[in-house]
Structure 1
């Protein structure tokens, strides 16, 4: 079916523009955390927002006000989850993954690589991207909660405090 009625086209244009503006307002009110790098919970919210926008635009059975309420609900739930994960240790462990050390003192941690489904080639690529050329000179590579790889060169490690609390970090780092 190529065309039903001009009224449906105008509805999509008007409701779409209103929904877009509402989404921008909700995202601005909800803060920077809503648009930060995605962890698993953030990804779910992002997909849900996209699905909600599509439903508002294309399903005439869903009113604009219902869609706006859905946007507000999703932003509120994301805000609450971010608040819990930043203030309650148990909440953080439920809602976000823990960072994982994949290289420690120049040594690939094979078990960690296997558990996280990361290849040695991906580690080498991250090290090259950081401007380093020798894995033995790397203090640590960490798979962060958002899926990015942090590379810390041996000459930049300092007192190792940025890695405090992570497993596979030696109590007595090699100097």
Structure 2
């Protein structure tokens, strides 16, 4: 109970030094690797961000040494960069690494197979439509589950004067 609020000055000093070094190192790694490292473009990118945070906290709280933690940060960022590079260079790797958007609702109809596959309920789709401030379901052309897990609602008025196909909506 005695150590609950304060252990000693030495442990605070270690956390101050390790936290500063870890934070600055992560900043440098991210600057070198580019904006993609912290982008949440898909589920994998989100997991990378969470993993980086976990490693950083382990370093700051002295659960691992600075060298071990920085090695972990370097490995995660390097692998994320490598997979993004491979996905960009190869259509096959793109399909393996990234999912594709899923059309959940189109022209007044729920696509039940897609809802089941993605484990999305109609109520969740309705909630997303409401978040777009759309009052009538008839005003919705499509609802797409994006790569990053967000839903995009396409209003009929957005595509009224265009001949828009399913492929065009999924690519928007």
Q: TM-score range by the shorter chain?
A: 0.7 to 0.9
**1: CA distance between counterparts of 2:166 and 2:69?**
42
Give the aligned partner of residue 163 of structure 1. 167
Kindly indicate whether the alpha-carbon contact (under 8 Å) linking 1:104 and 1:139 is maintained by their aligned counterparts in 2: yes
Kindly indicate whether the alpha-carbon contact (under 8 Å) linking 1:105 and 1:137 is maintained by their aligned counterparts in 2: no
What secondary structure is seen at the aligned counterpart in 2 of 1:131? Answer: coil
Structure 2: runs of 5+ lacking an equivalent: none
In structure 2, do the counterparts of structure 1 residues 78 and 103 end up closer, same or farther at CA, with 3 Å as the change threshold?
Answer: same
In structure 2, do the counterparts of structure 1 residues 4 and 130 end up closer, same or farther at CA, with 3 Å as the change threshold?
Answer: closer
Q: Please give the TM-score of this superposition, normalised by the length of structure 2.
A: 0.82
Moved more, 20-29 or 145-154: 20-29
Give the aligned partner of residue 73 of structure 2. 71
Q: CA deviation at 1:134?
A: 2.1
Structure 1: runs of 5+ lacking an equivalent: 167-175
Give the aligned partner of residue 23 of structure 1. 26
Q: Please give the TM-score of this superposition, normalised by the length of structure 1.
A: 0.81
Moved more, 24-33 or 95-104: 24-33
Q: CA deviation at 1:101?
A: 0.2
Tell me how many residue pairs correspond in the alignment.
165
**1: CA distance between counterparts of 2:166 and 2:73?**
36
Moved more, 45-54 or 1-10: 1-10
Q: CA deviation at 1:22?
A: 1.2
Q: CA deviation at 1:51?
A: 2.4
In structure 2, do the counterparts of structure 1 residues 162 and 32 end up closer, same or farther at CA, with 3 Å as the change threshold?
Answer: farther
What secondary structure is seen at the aligned counterpart in 2 of 1:155? Answer: helix
CA displacement 1:93-134 (0-9 Å, x = unmatched): 221221100011121112211221111121112222223222
In structure 2, do the counterparts of structure 1 residues 39 and 10 end up closer, same or farther at CA, with 3 Å as the change threshold?
Answer: same
Moved more, 154-163 or 79-88: 154-163
What secondary structure is seen at the aligned counterpart in 2 of 1:25? Answer: helix
Moved more, 134-143 or 101-110: 134-143
Give the aligned partner of residue 103 of structure 2. 101
What secondary structure is seen at the aligned counterpart in 2 of 1:133? Answer: coil
Kindly indicate whether the alpha-carbon contact (under 8 Å) linking 2:40 and 2:46 is maintained by their aligned counterparts in 1: no
Q: CA deviation at 1:150?
A: 0.8
RMSD, aligned α-carbons? 2.3
**1: CA distance between counterparts of 2:38 and 2:112?**
33
**2: CA distance between counterparts of 1:104 and 1:25?**
45
Q: CA deviation at 1:68?
A: 2.0
